[in-house]
Chain A
Amino acid sequence: MTTMLLRLSRDDRPILIAALFILVILVAGTAYTVAHFGSAPLLSPTYLLQQLQIGAFLGIVAAGMMIVILIAQIDLSVPWTLAAAAMMATSIGGPLAIPTGLGIGLLVGLVNGIGVAYLRVPSMIFTLGVNAVMRGLMVAHTGGYAPQTAATELMKTLAAERTLGIPNALFVWAAVSVVVAIILQRTPLGRYIYAIGNKEAAAYLAGVDTRRVTVICFALCGVAAALAGVLLAGYSTKAYQGMGDAYLLPSIAAVVIGGTNILGGRGRYLGTLIGVVLIVLLNSVLSIMDMPEAGRQVIYGLVIILMLLVYGRGERVTS
């Protein structure tokens, strides 16, 4: 077992361990439900599909976040990009709703990218400022209340309905996943992204327009957050204040648990998928156990530390 783990490449090991941990969560959760209620809802496909449907929104946000983390940056503007896309999509309505929402995301992403790539402001602070501006714009737009506008039928269909028994949101998540995986593994852009994450100066000297790639990465992240916002508005039939707040930290956690290096340059998309599933299942097991918010937060933090202690340890700097 140990030798098998060691033989895996250092990018695959986290993915396998996280997958094993998902099994542990499922077994422990099922043992709990069998002991307390005499049933095993965690193993029923209906329940799992329902949980994954909720997880799809986080998964889409995490896909965008991963791209930005791979180039050693971070996007803290996700919460209000998501909310702004949802609010504008519902208030425009009609066939233009979804393009408007995605356009907002693209715009925010471009602003983030230009600030980080050309002005060289640290992404941690620039995206934080953009998040505050988006929040300000939306508060001014809605008057601080939940907007009265409703999601369009198409948004509801994409987010809440099912085709052949499978939630449509899962199809959207799968499509996003395929696109991101192809970008990262099969296109020059993907190579550039990993190269910039490892050493931007080296990538620049090798002829990569690193600043343009940085802008593209932030734009992709913005669009992903906007898509999640549009779907979430469809799922809950309307947009509301603070709808994106619950997605920032879990999306970063999912990316990191999936083995992506927070300093950039390393990590596979499959890991991010597994990381999202892990967080979603952990949440649903905790809510089945009727765990109060206090316990959830503690367990959540301990799980992240534990997973990283197993495979996320950095190397000592010695030269």
Chain B
Amino acid sequence: MLNDLAIRLRQNVGLATAVLLFAALYLLYNLAHPKGFSPAVLVQNGDEIFALAMLAMAQTVPVLTSGLDLSVGAVMTMVGCFASYLLTGAAGGTPLHLDVLGLHLGLGTFPDGVGGILLGTIVCLAIGTLAGFINGCVVVYGRIQPIIATLATGAVYIGIALFLRPTPGGKIDEDLNWAMTNSLGDFASTLHIFDDGAAGWFAPFAWIPVPFALLVLIALVVWVPFRRSVLGRAVYAVGSAEGAAYMSGLPIERAKMAAFTLAGFFAGCGGLFLAIQTSSGNADIPQAGAYTLNSIASVVIGGTSLLGGTGSAIGSIFGAMILRVISFFFRIFDIAPLLQPLFEGLILLAAVSIGALGVLRVRNTLELFR
């Protein structure tokens, strides 16, 4: 039993390190913060963490197949731009039209009310998933290297986002914004469920921020079942030895397809939340690039190997949270804003270099090349 636990720990040493590091950093942050350990701080942090955490999950799945998805930031941006049209919550519905090549095409009215918001959410997530599916098709059937294929599709998605929102704008339903970016109690009172959030049994959970609850929900409902499915195992197998996976009769093509599609779905969730949080759509190219690169950093810090085959999306969530908490520190420790990018870079370099100290223990130089 104890032996079993030790083996499991050794297999997940990356994840365990990330969790411990996050716990230590976050404890320190709350101790140093004047309003530490309060629900208000927790809610604020949750809002700032969620989009990056979703993108880190999105990046993890292709990385596990030893691929890479450079389009996650672009998918996020594109879905956010769609959301700023579909989730306005305007009374009487939102009229949609398409102006292309001088033509003005009316696309009917998008419904309003709760039904409209539900439909809009589903459409947005479907767009993200579709983008991921297209990535998968280009990689699997086009047989183009993932890194360059997603670089190209990412440009296309950013183009679509720019077409939708040449300048930042749009609007998100205020109730939706309020419900999603606060605590579960506020969520319940906005939706008028559980006696407006005052139900006795609900009280112990009411302080939890919605983004954290969503994160746990998505991890448990989407990631864990996928990880345990045949397809999920195939994703890991493809990443550790594609040839062996092929010889074992695993569905390689379907696994890669699923990996990129799932990445699109996760990135779509991130984009949807970012749009809801900022209450607008913004085709910001530098922001998309920064999110993509930070998602790769989160994956590595969370203990997933860029070579594929080992790691998990849960670790990446903690990787993303570590990256974000580090930037929270700048706020409370009053570090000059001009020095912040420098510290971010140095911490990232230090983190990956410490992780690389294992090379000093290698006895046979050949083990370095794999």
Contact = CB atoms under 8 A, between A and B. Distances in A.
A135 B349 CA distance: 13
Interface string A120-141: 1110111011111111110110
A316 interface: yes
A210 B142 contact: no
Interface size class of B (residues with CB under 8 A): 35 or more
26 contacts: A115-B353, A121-B352, A121-B353, A122-B306, A122-B307, A124-B306, A129-B352, A133-B342, A136-B341, A140-B342, A199-B369, A242-B286, A249-B151, A256-B148, A293-B162, A298-B163, A301-B155, A301-B156, A304-B151, A305-B152, A308-B142, A308-B148, A313-B142, A315-B143, A317-B246, A317-B252
Contact of B159 (A245, A295, A313): A295
Contacts of A316: 143
A314 B344 contact: no
B160 A201 contact: no
A124 B166 contact: no
A316 B145 CA distance: 11
Interface of A: 74, 76, 115, 118-122, 124-126, 128-137, 139-140, 143-144, 199-201, 204-205, 210, 242, 245, 249, 252-253, 256, 262-263, 292-302, 304-305, 308-309, 312-319
A139 B338 contact: yes
Listed from nearest, the 10 A-B pairs whose CB atoms lie closest are A136-B342, A132-B345, A297-B159, A301-B155, A298-B159, A133-B345, A294-B162, A136-B341, A301-B156, A294-B163
Contacts of A319: 243, 246-247
A295 B159 CA distance: 6
A304 B365 contact: no
A26 B151 CA distance: 25
A318 B306 contact: no
Contacts, number: 172
Interface string B336-370: 01111111111011001101110100000110111
B344 A302 contact: no
A314 B352 CA distance: 30
A160 to B, nearest CB: 27
Contacts of B252: 317
B72 interface: no
A139 B345 CA distance: 12
A133 B346 contact: yes
Contacts of A299: 159
A144 to B, nearest CB: 6
B138 interface: yes
A313 B340 CA distance: 42
A309 B142 contact: yes
Contact of A136 (B138, B145, B148, B339): B339
A281 to B, nearest CB: 17
Contacts of B353: 115, 119, 121
B336 to A, nearest CB: 8
Q: Is the interface of B mostly helix, strand, loop or mixed?
A: helix
A210 B365 CA distance: 11
Interface in B62-95: 68
A297 B155 contact: yes
B370 to A, nearest CB: 8
A304 B148 contact: yes
B119 interface: no
Contacts of B296: 124-125, 128
B147 interface: yes
Contact of A205 (B143, B149, B337, B366): B366
Contacts of B306: 122, 124-125
A130 B143 contact: no
A296 B285 CA distance: 13
Contacts of A296: 159
B257 to A, nearest CB: 14
A208 to B, nearest CB: 11
B320 interface: no
Nearest to B247: A319
A283 to B, nearest CB: 13
Nearest to B146: A262
A72 to B, nearest CB: 11
A319 to B, nearest CB: 5
Given A120-B368, A292-B162, 10 more contacts: A119-B359, A121-B355, A129-B297, A129-B349, A133-B346, A135-B341, A242-B286, A301-B154, A308-B144, A313-B143
B56 interface: no
B16 interface: no
Contact of A137 (B154, B342, B349): B342
Nearest to B286: A245
B167 to A, nearest CB: 11
A295 B280 CA distance: 22
Nearest to B156: A301
Contact of B147 (A121, A262, A295, A302): A262
B180 interface: no
B366 A201 contact: yes
B300 interface: yes
Given A120-B368, A318-B243, A132 B344 contact: yes
Contacts of B173: none
A129 B294 CA distance: 10
Nearest to A200: B369
A130 B156 contact: no
Nearest to B165: A294
